Structure 1
């Protein structure tokens, strides 16, 4: 398999092309793959427990774990599988555009979560949406709204959260929705890339065949101490 046949997204995980440390190394996880204390909050849709979707994603995750390079990845627990709909705040990202404009950047995470929970208490019900897998990458799955109407609805949710909470990330308009399986501890050698391309293509096709629409819970505002668990504090309503 030639370099030209490798997806641009996979090439981002090439050690020869990106010798710098992977994102979040040393703050979110360490060299042993252990997740570090990194408190914050977020708004996610968890995968429905016991669903066909969970079964399919567990199968896909197992294929990642079976790869020779699995030791170079820090895997999150099955129980944490989710799609992030809107990014909250986090300990190591206390700066403009990533923090509500009217709140001090040195406010504790717990206090921030309380304030944001209060602001979201009257969040109005929004339209429901369906989500589908588009492709896979070494850290998990890329997803988007199953139809153009679903994609518009997901963007509408994000706009509404931004208006209520008082900040918009730089990638607010072009945020890539995803389901994380793992984080990269060490990027891939070039000779591993072709087999990863084959795996990713097969995994994405298998998921699309077995779970055309992912079974996700309604969005929920969650707190977390690390990437192992996202505690639901407030679940948002869909319009009937």
Structure 2
């Protein structure tokens, strides 16, 4: 039996009746982070970014006022924008696993193949990326900033990069074309009540005015993760 086969396969996101999409695969019903390994290509938000500093007061206030484990906040050290989704070990089906690897291949094999391919991959343009904050994502499964490239040229570069990564890594997620760039702040552990929704709406609207309109991100990073709390950089994708 492979190591991948020995990993406990929890029900996939959304399997817990009446719960948001991250429960119970990424977080349990008490809000505790769960083993959910995979790989991804992201841009971490630098602690030196004005956005990082502007988000910290919101993070601290949500942490202090979190009613009855409504949300689990992601650690600031994990804040990032996903450039390309990669794979999750617990999601093995076409579109979510590379087509040139067997569906039962260990995650370690996928990591190794991706690493070899990406070390030869040419990013094709220079960082930083300039992103614009366009409000929040719809609050269905959590709280996150909706991001868009700040110019048509940046949009073309990022969308083109995703296409080239898809071809190189032999994986194309169902949402590839319509993928919404974002920065996640928290996951819902249960759906909010009307009162809680109103509280969140007021709080997030207040803080949105305090965030920078635009900000920069550096070079994309190939990362491994075991949970949603830490994304371990293996190397940067180079221009």
Taking structure 2 as the reference length, the TM-score comes to: 0.84
Counterpart in the other structure of 1:8: none
Match of 1:154 in 2: 158
Root mean square deviation of aligned Cα: 1.7
In the alignment, structure 1 residue 217 sits paired with structure 2 residue 221: no
Counterpart in the other structure of 1:97? 95
Q: Secondary structure at the match of 1:158?
A: helix
Which residue number corresponds to residue 187 of structure 1?
191
Alignment correspondent of 2:227: 226
1:4 aligned residue: none
Q: Which residue of 2 aligns with 1:3?
A: none
TM-superposed deviation, 1:126? 2.4
- Could you tell which deviates more after superposition, 105-114 or 192-201? 192-201
Q: What is the aligned counterpart of 1:85 among 83, 86, 89?
A: 83
- The answer to whether the 8 A contact 2:25-2:36 is kept is yes
| Secondary structure of 1:130 counterpart | strand
Q: Which moved more, 1:162-171 or 1:43-52?
A: 43-52
Moved over 6 A (4+): none
Task: After TM superposition, list the pairs within 5 Å mapping 1:124-163 onto structure 2.
Answer: 124-127=122-125, 128=127, 129-136=129-136, 137=139, 138-163=142-167
Aligned match of 2:114:
116
1:203 aligns with 2:185: no
**5+ unaligned residues in a row in structure 2: which ranges?**
1-16
CA distance in 1, matches of 2:68, 2:120: 43
How does the TM-score come out when normalised to structure 1?
A: 0.84
Specify the alignment match of 1:49 in structure 2.
47
Q: Deviations over 1:28-76 (max 9, x none)?
A: 1112211111110000000113332211121232233344537211111
Unaligned runs of 5+ in 1: 1-18
> What displacement does 1:157 show?
1.2
TM-fit CA distance, 1:149 = 2.0
